[in-house]
């Protein structure tokens, strides 16, 4: 016999409902309600079935969170096929674009701050030992957080492309491809970091010296991919900034900031092998410039700076 039908309480079911309301925004009332009821039924079945199997509530919530994150691309595809991204006139697309830019500050910063170790230290075994002494829960939480941010980045980029690609097809396509690549890199890094965390647990349990060398390979991969993430994000935001200026959504002077970030990335790539640590000044300057651009333009769009033009009726740009 199944448990009586009741909405599962808790943080994860609440996040799932919030995500459904977000990607159903702008749909007809009937379609939105039907989708919410479908997801509510799915949540109930999952929690009821797993509870009957005597699975702990914490484990059930972790499973539900994993299902929600894995289902993000499918939800986005379903939304596009259903009606497309129609935005209510009381909440124009510029405001949503502003929210997206402010959100992108999170993956931009997090994408270069996953490690928790320093591969540049000469005594790597000691550094790996320090990493191993971090709590397993802390390392797993870091991997989960970066995985979630990666999925959310991809979802936001999908919305951006579906909403704006007709107005600036080439620039938006390139920007979205680069930003989606950055989100994908975050997912790969989260998986590598989790694998390295497993090696750390094995090293702590058995002190197998071979795990140290393997872990260093993972660590160097994570570090390289983190910089690739920064490069893809910076380049994508430069293209996006150019598109937003052509569409009249943000002031022209703001392009200086993502341009500085783009140049900083190039200088770091070119000068890094020659000047070493000194080249970090270039990437640091570019990093700060891009973060400022996301903050300034995100707030500008969110609060309708300079009486933003409506996207409807604007000519398309390449």
Spell out where the chain has E strands. none
Give domain status of residue 313, yes or no: no
CA 128 remoteness from chain centre: 27
Of 298 and 203, which is predicted with more confidence?
298
Residues 38 and 95 in one domain: no
Residues 96 and 160 in one domain: yes
Residues 19 and 136 in one domain: no
Residues 99 and 230 in one domain: yes
Is the confidence at residue 203, as pLDDT, over 80?
no
Looking at the structure of the chain, the number of domains it has is 2
Q: Which of 5-9, 95-99, 126-130, 161-165 has the lowest mean pLDDT?
A: 5-9
Predicted confidence at residue 176, as pLDDT, reads 92
Residues 102 and 202 in one domain: yes
**Residue 161 structural domain:** 91-302
Which of 67, 86, 105 is a domain's end point?
86
Give domain status of residue 187, yes or no: yes
Predicted confidence at residue 1, as pLDDT, reads 37
Is the confidence at residue 83, as pLDDT, over 60?
no
* Distance (Å, whole) CA 181 – CA 170: 17
Q: How confident is the model at residue 177 (pLDDT cuts 50, 70, 90)?
A: very high
Residue 250 belongs to what H/E stretch? none
Which of 52, 86, 120 is a domain's end point?
86
Residues 73 and 178 in one domain: no
Residues 81 and 109 in one domain: no
Which of 57, 86, 115 is a domain's end point?
86
Residues 121 and 13 in one domain: no
Q: Which residues contact 246 (CB under 8 A, 6 or more apart)?
A: 168, 171, 317
Which alpha helices (DSSP H) does 121-209 contain, by range?
A: 124-132, 136-164, 169-206
Q: How confident is the model at residue 160 (pLDDT cuts 50, 70, 90)?
A: confident
Q: Please give the average per-residue pLDDT across 109-128, as a whole number.
A: 60
Give domain status of residue 314, yes or no: no
Q: Please give the average per-residue pLDDT across 159-184, as a whole number.
A: 88
Residues 238 and 181 in one domain: yes
Decide if 136 contacts 205 (C-beta within 8 A): no
Q: Which of 16-20, 41-45, 281-285 has the lowest mean pLDDT?
A: 281-285
Residues 293 and 232 in one domain: yes
Give domain status of residue 238, yes or no: yes
Residues 153 and 259 in one domain: yes
The reported pTM is: 0.61
């Amino acid at each position: 016999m199944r448990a009586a039908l009741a909405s599962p309480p808790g943080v994860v079911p609440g996040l799932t409902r919030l995500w459904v309301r977000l990607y159903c925004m702008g749909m007809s009332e009937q379609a939105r309600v039907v989708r919410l009821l479908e997801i509510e039924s799915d949540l109930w079945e999952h929690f009821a079935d797993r509870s009957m199997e005597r699975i702990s509530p914490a484990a059930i919530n972790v499973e539900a969170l994993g299902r929600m994150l894995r289902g993000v691309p499918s939800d986005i595809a379903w939304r596009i096929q259903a009606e497309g991204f129609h935005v209510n006139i009381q909440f124009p697309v510029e405001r949503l674009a502003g929210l997206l830019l402010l959100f992108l500050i999170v993956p931009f910063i997090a994408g270069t701050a996953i490690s928790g170790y320093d591969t540049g230290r000469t005594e790597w075994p000691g550094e790996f030992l320090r990493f191993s002494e971090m709590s397993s829960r802390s390392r797993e939480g870091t991997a989960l957080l970066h995985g979630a941010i990666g999925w959310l980045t991809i979802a936001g980029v999908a919305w951006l492309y579906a909403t704006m690609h007709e107005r600036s097809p080439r620039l938006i396509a390139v920007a979205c491809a680069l930003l989606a690549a950055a989100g994908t890199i975050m997912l790969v890094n989260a998986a590598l970091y989790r694998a390295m965390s497993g090696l750390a647990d094995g090293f702590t349990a058995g002190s197998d010296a071979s795990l140290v060398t393997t872990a260093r390979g993972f660590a160097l991969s994570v570090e390289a991919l983190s910089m690739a993430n920064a490069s893809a994000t910076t380049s994508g935001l430069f293209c996006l900034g150019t598109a937003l200026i052509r569409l009249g959504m943000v002031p022209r002077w703001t392009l200086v900031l993502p341009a500085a970030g783009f140049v900083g990335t190039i200088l770091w790539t070119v000068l890094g092998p020659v000047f070493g640590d000194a080249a970090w000044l270039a990437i640091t300057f570019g990093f700060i410039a891009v973060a400022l651009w996301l903050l300034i333009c995100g707030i500008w769009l969110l609060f309708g700076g300079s009486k933003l033009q409506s996207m409807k009726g604007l000519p398309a740009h390449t």
